[in-house]
Chains A and B, each alone.
Chain A
Amino acid sequence: MQLAVLMGFLLAAVAPLLHHWFGGHTARVIAAYPALVAVWLLGLAPEILAGETLLLEWAWVPGLDISLTFFIDGLSWLFAMLITVIGAMVLVYAGEYLRGHRDLARFLVIITAFMMSMLGLVLADNLVTLFVFWELTSITSYLLIGFNHTDPEARKSALQGLFVTAGGGLALLAGFAMLGVAGDSWSLVELNAQGEALREHALYAPLLVCVLLGAFTKSAQFPFHFWLPNAMAAPTPVSAYLHSATMVKAGVYLLARLHPSLGGTELWVITLSLVGALTMATGAFLAIQHTNIKKLLAYSTVMALGTLTMLLGIGTDGALTAFVVFLLAHSLYKGALFMVAGILDHETGTKDVTAMGGLRSLMPRTAVVAAVAAVSLAGLPPLLGFLGKELMFKAVLEAEAWRWLILLLAFTAAFLTLAVAAVVVLRPFAGKRRETPNTPHDPPGDMLVGPALLAGLSLIFGLAPGLLDGLVSVTASGIGASEVSAHLTLWHGVNLPLILSLASLALGILVFRHWDGVRSALGRLEPLMARGPEACYEGMMRGLVTVAEWQTRMLQNGYIRNYLVMTLLVLLGLVGHALFFRHSPSFPFSLDAYFHEVVTAGLMVAGAVTACVMRSRLAAVAAVGIMGFSIALTFVLFSAPDLAITQLLVETLTVILLVLVLFRLPRFATLSTTMERLRDLVVACLVGTMVTLLMLSVLGGERLPRISDYMVENSQPLGHGHNIVNVILVDFRALDTLGEMFVLALAAIGVHAMMRFHAEEYDAKPSAPSERYDG
């Protein structure tokens, strides 16, 4: 399986090449790959349905306890099936949808890479591996939302999606780190086996909050829901695949996966069920206000994601069963509806449902597919969506915390969703024929086969829900339900959920009939909406830019001395703190010095200070020379003949160099004001004092054994040299000397290049630099 995922990434990399060979058929060729993986997964079905968990071990970075181990249980299998099957459909669909698009190859690269990342995400056993795949899906999603990169709106939406999901990703990383520490394991299988200990752990609350932040941002839960509708700037196949069927479910997947280890506490139940229910209602409420078919569907996806979160929050056996059924139902109908939306957009040239009408006679096959999928969305029998909704109502009635509030929100969401479903299918296909920019007709088979298959599956599973019994039981047990054996049937008899369904049907139809009125009434809430979470996001982004500008102005202002002063002050602060607060320094001051040594030191100081106050360049260079030669003298006095020789040579060369160049340089100028000089003097004295104190404290401190004893003893026996310093340079530390030679060579090349470079030519013809190297 790991190989399958890695091969998939390889396939993504060679997609442009395939596009070169196969032209318009590339998408179909690539689609064969997920289809193959799906067939392979189907072969595993008997073992999965028997409740087995397949562990495919694969070491990756054993030293850090990171493995590429995959494990397949009911939940992973269900997700992997959705990813590969819908993925294959979407690829075929996209090949037609983007036919002739000049960036089709790029699209195929990214979407294939996404597919594999998503597959890796739902199969990974290791937290770190899961996180890597998680971030990969965020990045590929960013690239896909911004696919039409010439459109500023698309770029902005892409960035927004990335910021929100990657920001949550950071929180998730922190959460995973705490989870790994608390559970002393990075393996999900092992973590899920010790749920009790994790829930009692002191880190439980912070780690849960971090993990929830990651999952909520990814799955567009309130108040992070705003990025998902904006992500509709992506081409429709992407919306169908990433932003309804798979990626946005990654957060829900993670919550389901961690439910056995982290779920069931009061914090979990209340947070998830309330946030979920709120998201449900918000999504449905916002959906009904839009006329853009993709936005309608996007907000209803937000609603569905909220439902899934809420069901995980309630966490009873019934809720987990409902979770699995609803998840499957939603992926099937929403994938199909998005693809239908793409067909409508493609054929009519508009996304506005109010501009369409009476298309059923022009596009009969599309109309049938849309109708089946929409009935499932509406939650009407005999489709899988009905089952999902019934089970959801049943689960909500079992909720322990805030039952009536959640029920109210869920009921609102249900009847609004029903209205949305009606709008999506009845507006374009029924009613009177309206003129659209293009004259529509049924699309080619490639675009219809995907939605038809997904809608067909909704119908088959709806009519014969018994087919799903095994999968639902295994999956629900895998995410923490006690051994359930689900028996799904359409008819449960007359009970409260059915009555709620009927009520929502009636209300939904009412809303649909007065949709135009409802929309204009809700339009009056616009000022309120303008203060929503998206406005907060915008404000944060503006604030970020302002702060960045301010600190660039402060720190990166182009004045070299400001940089220096800043660096030095930080250095002073850090060193000073370490010196005085981290250990108590002792400053010994014993003066056992001979007269000539004191004179040498005095010469150094005199040279340096003179260099500072001189107004003539030549005098300053001479003063520095005096200091340099005094240093050479110090080396002689204190047993360093080699240093003395080197210093003398270098000092002589330096003085010659400076004198040669000096007269081509500007004269000293007095540029600073007295205040500036005073400030610089203070900084300089502070640094000087710090250096002195530092040295004194080092000298007064304890001496560690010298590592050079080894070199002293072995210089002659091993290095065959009598001058120990030389042996160190060319033998013991020969690599350092090699590095030094590199630095000198680089400096020499730089000097040479600059000497050959003539300013006049630079001004005259900056684009023809080669000529002057001829002479």
Chain B
Amino acid sequence: MEPLMAVTIGILFATAIYMMLRRSIVKLVIGLMLLSNAANLLIFVTAGLTRGAPPLVPPGMSAPEGAVADPLPQALVLTAIVIAFGVLSFAVVLVRRAWEIVRADDLDKMKDTDT
């Protein structure tokens, strides 16, 4: 399954980059969303995929029986998902404000510091 996911993630990255290279600022935001999702998935898959063995300790035991999915990348990705959300909200509001003030949705027209 991992090789298939590798191809999938490659496509997600490609779409994200393509969207981020557009001149329209809203598309930049969409690109940002795609990119953070793709990156999270990359970390998750690179650690190896395990079916049906979540990293939980059964009640009354001190360690899980048998092998479980690697919990560390999961913890990292969990943090990353939340941070990506924070960054995205910030970006969305920033874009909205910029649009209100500059009234330009073309990034090429925002290249000067003076509005």
A residues at B contact (CB < 8 Å): 557-561, 564-565, 568, 587-593, 597-598, 601, 604-605, 608-609, 611-612, 617, 620-621, 624, 627-628, 631, 634-635, 637-643, 646-647, 650, 653-654, 657-658, 661, 664-666, 668-669, 671-672, 680-681, 683-685, 687-692, 695-696, 698-699, 703, 706-708, 711-713, 715-717, 721-725, 728-729, 733, 736-737, 740, 743-744, 746-748, 750-751, 754-755, 757, 759, 762-763
Contact = CB atoms under 8 A, between A and B. Distances in A.
B18 A612 contact: yes
B5 A601 contact: yes
Counting from the closest, the 4 A-B pairs by CB-CB distance are A688-B14, A558-B111, A692-B10, A666-B105
Contacts of A617: 26
Contacts of A691: 6, 9-10, 13, 38, 42
Given A561-B21, A611-B34, A698 B46 contact: yes
Contacts of B7: 692
Given A692-B10, A747-B87, A712 B24 contact: no
Contacts of B64: 712, 724
A597 B39 CA distance: 19
A754 B94 contact: yes
Contacts of A637: 51
B68 to A, nearest CB: 6
Nearest to A635: B44
Contacts of A692: 6-7, 9-10
Given A639-B50, A641-B54, A646-B78, A668 B24 contact: yes
Contact of B1 (A593, A608, A628): A593
B23 A561 contact: yes
A608 B12 contact: yes
A417 B7 CA distance: 81
15 contacts: A590-B3, A628-B33, A628-B37, A639-B50, A647-B81, A664-B96, A668-B24, A684-B14, A684-B18, A687-B14, A688-B17, A690-B10, A723-B55, A728-B71, A750-B94
Given A565-B21, A717-B62, A722-B57, A759 B11 contact: no
Given A597-B1, A717-B62, A754-B93, A646 B82 contact: yes
B89 A712 contact: no
Contact of B95 (A650, A665, A708): A665
A723 B56 contact: yes
Contacts of A736: 79
B72 A728 contact: yes
B37 A631 contact: yes
Nearest to B77: A643
B75 A743 contact: no
Interface in B7-63: 7-30, 33-34, 37-38, 40-42, 44-46, 48-59, 61-63
A139 B69 CA distance: 59
Given A561-B107, A565-B21, A695-B6, 16 more contacts: A560-B111, A591-B3, A612-B19, A627-B12, A654-B33, A661-B92, A665-B105, A684-B16, A687-B13, A695-B46, A699-B48, A706-B72, A724-B71, A729-B75, A751-B93, A763-B101
Contacts of A688: 10-15, 17
Chain B interface mostly helix, strand, loop or mixed?
helix
A715 B75 CA distance: 13
Contacts of A560: 28, 107, 111
B30 A624 contact: yes
A685 B111 CA distance: 26
Nearest to A623: B30
Contacts of A657: 88-89, 92
Contact of A672 (B23, B81, B97): B23
Nearest to A660: B92
Nearest to A755: B93
A684 B38 CA distance: 13
Chain B: interface size category: 35 or more
B112 to A, nearest CB: 7
B39 to A, nearest CB: 10
A642 B74 contact: yes
B43 to A, nearest CB: 11
A724 B55 contact: yes
B75 A733 contact: yes
B82 to A, nearest CB: 6
User: For A589, A620, A688, A722, which residue has the most chain B Cβ atoms within 10 angstroms?
Assistant: A688
Contacts of A638: 44, 49-51, 69
A161 B23 CA distance: 47
A743 B83 contact: yes
Contacts of B40: 631
Contacts of A608: 11-12, 15-16, 34
A666 B26 contact: yes
A705 to B, nearest CB: 12
Contact of A716 (B3, B17, B37, B62): B62
A430 to B, nearest CB: 64
Contacts of A557: 111
Contact of B33 (A624, A643, A683, A699): A624
A76 B31 CA distance: 66
B10 A743 contact: no
B97 A754 contact: yes
Given A604-B12, A759-B101, A642 B4 contact: no
A592 B53 CA distance: 18
A685 B51 CA distance: 30
Given A605-B8, A654-B85, A740 B79 contact: yes
A671 B109 CA distance: 11
A564 B20 contact: yes
Contacts of B77: 640, 643
Contact of A711 (B37, B71, B107): B71
A680 B18 contact: yes
A484 to B, nearest CB: 68
Nearest to B18: A684
A125 B12 CA distance: 60
Contacts of B84: 650
Contacts of A666: 24-26, 99, 105
B81 to A, nearest CB: 5
A35 to B, nearest CB: 55
Given A643-B77, A661-B93, A695-B42, A564 B50 contact: no
Contacts of A590: 3
Contacts of A612: 15, 18-19
Contacts of B18: 612, 680-681, 684
A751 B90 contact: yes
Contacts of A558: 111-112
Contacts of B96: 661, 664-665, 754
A642 B21 CA distance: 33
Contacts of A681: 18
Contact of B69 (A639, A689, A750, A755): A639
B65 to A, nearest CB: 11
B14 A665 contact: no
A665 B26 contact: yes
A515 B50 CA distance: 95
Contacts of A715: 57, 63, 71
User: For B6, B87, B88, which residue has the most chain A Cβ atoms within 10 angstroms?
Assistant: B6
A672 B22 contact: yes
A301 to B, nearest CB: 48
A632 B25 CA distance: 27
A671 B79 contact: no
